[in-house]
């Protein structure tokens, strides 16, 4: 059986602050498309871009099917990404959260992620529960 690896993006618009729904030339969309083309299961959510706008850009918004998700990537610096991260109820299959914006380090649930063995990485640090 093929192994299915899911990656979920939080924040796909070009920038999170100031808020915009503009998906054009978004670095997060480029990374999303890369993983999609490599046949990973990818899904996404954005605080400002609507579900219709995301779908029109080729984004699967079925992010509550987190059963195959092993990695979560914060694609922009909107603090609402953390609210959505908290709502996802990350389960034991998630092993990695990549946060190039350093939003997660001040997040109240970071310690619980580490206790569950979920590594949290920014561009400069990697936190693990080990």
Tell me: the pLDDT tens digits for 95-126?
899 999 988 887 888 888 888 888 899 888 87
Using alpha carbons only, how large is the chain's radius of gyration in Å? Answer: 14
In this structure, are residues 44 and 59 in contact, taking their beta carbons and an 8 Å threshold?
yes
Which among 32, 36, 35, 34 is positioned nearest to 45, based on CA atoms? 32
Q: Enter the pTM of the model.
A: 0.89
List residues bridging with 9 in a β-sheet: 44, 73
pLDDT at 129: 67
């Amino acid at each position: 059986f093929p192994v299915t690896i899911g990656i979920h993006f939080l924040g796909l618009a070009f920038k999170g602050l100031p808020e915009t729904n503009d998906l054009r030339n978004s670095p997060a969309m480029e990374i999303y498309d890369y993983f999609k083309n490599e046949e990973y299961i990818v899904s996404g959510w954005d605080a400002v871009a609507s579900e219709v706008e995301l779908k029109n850009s080729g984004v699967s918004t079925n992010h509550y099917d987190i059963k195959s998700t092993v990695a979560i990537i914060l694609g922009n610096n909107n603090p609402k990404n953390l609210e959505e991260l908290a709502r996802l109820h990350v389960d034991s299959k998630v092993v990695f959260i990549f946060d190039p914006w350093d939003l997660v380090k001040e997040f109240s649930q970071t310690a619980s992620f580490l206790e569950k063995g979920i590594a949290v990485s920014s561009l400069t640090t990697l936190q693990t529960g080990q």
